[in-house]
Amino acid sequence: MYYKSCKTFTAQVTIGLYKGYSKELVSQKVLKEELVIAQRAAKEQYGVLLSTKIRTCEIVFLGQEEPAVELEFIQYPKFQQEEELLKKAIVSLTEMILITLEQNRVVIVFKDETIMIEQNNEIDPTIKL
């Protein structure tokens, strides 16, 4: 048996599965296809391998109810990367998915920082502020 450890690093991205603010649902198949394309791009651009855990969930906020997925990334001990490079690759991957899945806004949660990426200031019309 071989053991390899590293400093813990995690990132979580929650992505709604309705295209734009419609009720048109993005399938798991399409999500996975777009994720693999973005993983390949992160590998080519940054030399970073981004194994991704996908967990289904739901976004509920003041009238909004949207099926969603949570993408989770870790510092994988077999393919360790410098943390800032890992963050850049995750942000880049998230931007690609945001665009291809026609999302307006996503949030990336790192242990030390939360980053919101948005295309414009619109909010879901089902949200009652």
Structure pTM?
0.93
Rounded-to-integer distance, Cα 28 and Cα 31, Å: 5
- Report H helices in the chain: 28-46, 83-100
Contact of 15 with 119, CB cutoff 8 Å: no
Sheet holding 53-61, edge to edge: 53-61, 64-74, 10-16, 105-110, 114-118
Contact of 94 with 108, CB cutoff 8 Å: yes
Rounded-to-integer distance, Cα 17 and Cα 39, Å: 19
Can you give the pLDDT of all 129 residues of the chain as single tens digits?
A: 989 999 999 999 999 999 999 999 999 999 999 999 999 999 999 999 999 999 999 999 999 999 999 999 999 988 899 999 999 999 999 999 999 999 999 999 999 999 999 999 999 999 999
